[in-house]
């Protein structure tokens, strides 16, 4: 029952917290015209720039190839793993079957990329200088979630049917649900809940905040168009 209550609290805090942070980002004034140059001159160009940032980490690729490689590998693998986990919440069509194998391979890639990002923060001076304890703990938490998931895949097979019943009840707010007693799954699930609890209050909010970054979402037209501060429009 306590784990069920924690799960509902984590889900509510994640949804409400994420939505509130997006609301704050949207309401925050952008008093300066500060797009990172070279920047697009049209809104269509800005949309394309944001797409390349989200889909390909374009600016990171230009900045540091090794960081881009490990960071991009982690995010792509995380997306594949997340899609694979949809089977625990929905009844998926049969063509999702081959994705299960791809999802397992993505799990190895995700953990490996996280490990390299962790090592990078330890051995590269400029990254170690700007890294906080929260940065290290976030990487450790993500690696723990990935490793516990791989452990269940190869060594400690849990009750898949029981897990799906619990996850469906949880995400549909169906009341107190039974958690399969497998200790590895409980560790994995608690790790995910902790991640959801801290997500809206951490650097992980860059997942939504990137769309509100004035260095990325502004056109480079300071001479062609006057930029008026939001509070000065009245």
Domains of the chain by start residue, with CATH: 2-221 (1.20.950.20)
> Which residue carries 């069920």 as its tokens?
4
Q: What is the pTM of this model?
A: 0.89
* Average pLDDT, rounded, for the chain: 91
pLDDT for the residue numbered 228: 77
pLDDT in tens, 133-168: 999 999 999 999 999 999 999 888 888 899 999 999
Please state, in angstroms and rounded to a whole number, the distance separating the CA atoms of residues 209 and 205. 6
Q: CA 127, 133, 139 angle in degrees (round to 5)?
A: 75
pLDDT in tens, 189-229: 999 999 999 999 999 999 999 999 999 999 998 888 887 77
Confidence label for 90 from pLDDT (cuts 50, 70 and 90): confident
Residue 99: HSE in the Cβ half-sphere, 13 Å Cα cutoff = 15
Please state, in angstroms and rounded to a whole number, the distance separating the CA atoms of residues 53 and 58. 5
Judge whether residue 120 has pLDDT over 90. Answer: yes
pLDDT for the residue numbered 234: 62
Please state, in angstroms and rounded to a whole number, the distance separating the CA atoms of residues 152 and 156. 5
């Amino acid at each position: 029952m306590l784990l069920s209550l924690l799960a509902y609290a984590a889900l509510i805090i994640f949804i409400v917290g994420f939505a509130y942070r997006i609301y704050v980002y949207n309401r925050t004034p952008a008093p300066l015209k500060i797009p990172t140059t070279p920047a697009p001159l049209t809104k269509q160009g800005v949309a394309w720039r944001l797409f390349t940032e989200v889909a390909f980490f374009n600016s990171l690729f230009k900045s540091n190839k090794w960081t881009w490689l490990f960071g991009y590998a982690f995010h792509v693998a995380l997306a594949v793993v997340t899609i694979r986990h949809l089977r625990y919440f929905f009844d998926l069509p049969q063509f999702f079957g081959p994705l299960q194998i791809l999802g397992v391979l993505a799990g190895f890639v995700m953990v490996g990329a996280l490990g390299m990002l962790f090592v990078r923060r330890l051995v590269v001076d400029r990254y170690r200088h700007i890294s906080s304890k929260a940065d290290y703990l976030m990487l450790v938490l993500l690696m723990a979630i990935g490793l516990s998931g791989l452990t269940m895949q190869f060594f400690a097979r849990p009750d898949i049917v029981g897990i799906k019943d619990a996850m469906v009840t949880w995400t549909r707010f169906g009341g107190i649900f039974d958690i399969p007693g497998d200790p590895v799954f409980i560790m994995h699930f608690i790790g995910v809940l902790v991640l959801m609890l801290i997500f809206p209050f951490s650097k992980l909010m860059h997942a939504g905040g990137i769309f509100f970054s004035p260095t990325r979402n502004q056109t480079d037209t300071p001479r062609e168009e006057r930029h008026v501060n939001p509070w000065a429009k009245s």
